[in-house]
Structures are given as structure tokens and as C-alpha cells.
Amino acid sequence: DNVLLVGIALGAYGVTQSLLYIFYGWLSDKMGRKPVIVIGLVIFALGSFVAAFAHDITWIIVGRVIQGMGAISSAVLAFIADLTSEEHRTKAMAMVGGSIGMSFAVAIVGAPIVFHWVGMSGLFALVGVFSILAVGVVLWIVPDAPKPVHVRAPFAEVLRNVELLRLNFGVLVLHATQTALFLVVPRLLVDAGLPVASHWKIYLPVMGVSFVLMVPAIIAAEKRGKMKAVLCSAIGL
């Protein structure tokens, strides 16, 4: 009944994620990628179970905050960079982005069905279980990477890098827009007469077209050196 608290529940994950993102990247340089990823997944699972057993929105927010504390995306991206050569890195990153997009598309179709079976608590519990299973994947399936070679740089120097600041601002705008869309678009669709269970009819074609367009974009960026043109075109679209 309180839209503000629902918004906080959605955004709380991103807040703690942003606060710890650089720390986890730095820690993975010191400890290694796998240990940090495993620790993050365990913390994320803990947050999922807290939210699963929550009896009100306040404890769901607490669970989302803990989930955000397990945000090890920076270590994952660094791990991908360690495991791939430079000429294949864009493809590898695109595959990660594509898998996230695919999971989103599957969730849009499947979540209303699963929600009908197990409810909101069940959804959070399933996420927690999958996080624990992911720990096994990291430990026993993902190959070990060679120890990364790092050139030390003062943090203030990195923070003042103009090119990075532009990129950081772009990512900030992208994520803010996405979060806003997650809050606004479903309600607009419902107001237009499309029930939640049918929202996949909008999202699935959009994701499908995105995947189709992603392939030639990656080829143009990697093979023909059109990275900047592809990036600017994507922002424009």
C-alpha cells in the first residue's frame, strides 16, 4: 500500500551494491576472484532468505540491503577479463549481458506463474537456493584464471580520470532509467488494460529483437573497429 517503501525495496539493493562495488574489486585483486565471488554469493543468499521469511516490507528492505552487500559483479567482470584474451573480451562481456537479458525475459514470462505457486516468499527462497548452487558452479566448474597483473595507481588518480567519469555517468543514467522503468512501465501497462500475467507479450519481443540486433553490433565493434559508433548508436536508440 506504500509506493515509497516499494521503491526503497527495489532501490536498496543498488545502494549497497554501489557502496561496496569498488571494495569488492579491490579485494578480489588481493584475495583472488573466486573467494570474493563465493563470499558475495553467500551474503546474497542470506539476504534472499531474510526477505523470504519477512512478514512486512521493512524486513524485505533489510533483505534487499543484505542482497546488495553480496554484489560481486565487479569481481565477476574482472574474472571474465582474466579468463579471456583481449580480442574475445567484448564477446564474453556481451554473453554475460545477454544471459542477464535472457534471465529477465524468462522471469517476465515465468515469474507470474511461479508467484502463483509459491508467492513472494517462495520467489526469494528460490533465489537464495540458486545462489547457493551458484557457489558450487564457481568452485567446481568455472576454471581458475592466471593471477592478474596489476599496475598500482592512486585511487584519487583513477577517480579524476575524465574518460572514466564519462563512462560512470553513463552507467549511472542507464541504471537509474532501468530502475525507473521497472517501477513505472508495469503500472502503465496495467492501466492500459494489460494484466501483469500478460506483460511478457511486450517484454519478450523486445528482448528477442535486442538479441538479434546485438550480434551484428558486436561484429561491427570487434571486427571493424567501430566500438565508439556502436556505443553512440546504442545510447541514441
- Report the pLDDT value the prediction gives residue 149, as an integer from 0 to 100: 66
Task: Say whether pLDDT at 42 is over 80.
Answer: yes
Contact assessment for residue 30 and residue 75, using Cβ atoms and an 8 Å cutoff: no
| Residue 201: all three cell numbers together | 507479450
Give this prediction's pTM. 0.78
- Report the pLDDT value the prediction gives residue 35, as an integer from 0 to 100: 93
Q: In this structure, which amino acid lies at residue 129?
A: V
Distance in angstroms (rounded) separating the CA atoms of residues 124 and 115: 10
Contact assessment for residue 45 and residue 69, using Cβ atoms and an 8 Å cutoff: no
If one counts every other C-beta atom within 10 angstroms of the C-beta of residue 108, the result is: 19
What are 106-151's pLDDT values in tens digits? 777 788 788 889 998 999 999 999 999 999 999 999 888 777 666 7
Radius of gyration from C-alpha coordinates of the chain: 19
Contact assessment for residue 84 and residue 66, using Cβ atoms and an 8 Å cutoff: no
- Report the pLDDT value the prediction gives residue 130, as an integer from 0 to 100: 95
| Residue 140: all three cell numbers together | 567446481
What are 173-204's pLDDT values in tens digits? 888 888 787 778 888 999 999 987 788 788 88
Percent share of the chain, pLDDT over 90: 31
Sequence-ordered list of residues with C-beta below 8 angstroms from that of 233, at least 6 positions apart, any chain: 217
In the chain, helix, strand, coil percent, each to 5? 85, 0, 15
- Report the pLDDT value the prediction gives residue 46, as an integer from 0 to 100: 97
Task: Say whether pLDDT at 54 is over 80.
Answer: yes
Percent share of the chain, pLDDT over 70: 99
Give the chain's domains with CATH numbers: 1-97+114-150 (1.20.1250.20)
Classify residue 91 by its DSSP letter: H
What are 10-31's pLDDT values in tens digits? 889 888 988 998 888 888 888 8
Q: In this structure, which amino acid lies at residue 107?
A: A
For all residues of the chain together, what is the average pLDDT? 86
With cell 525507473, the residue in question is: 180
- Report the pLDDT value the prediction gives residue 230, as an integer from 0 to 100: 86
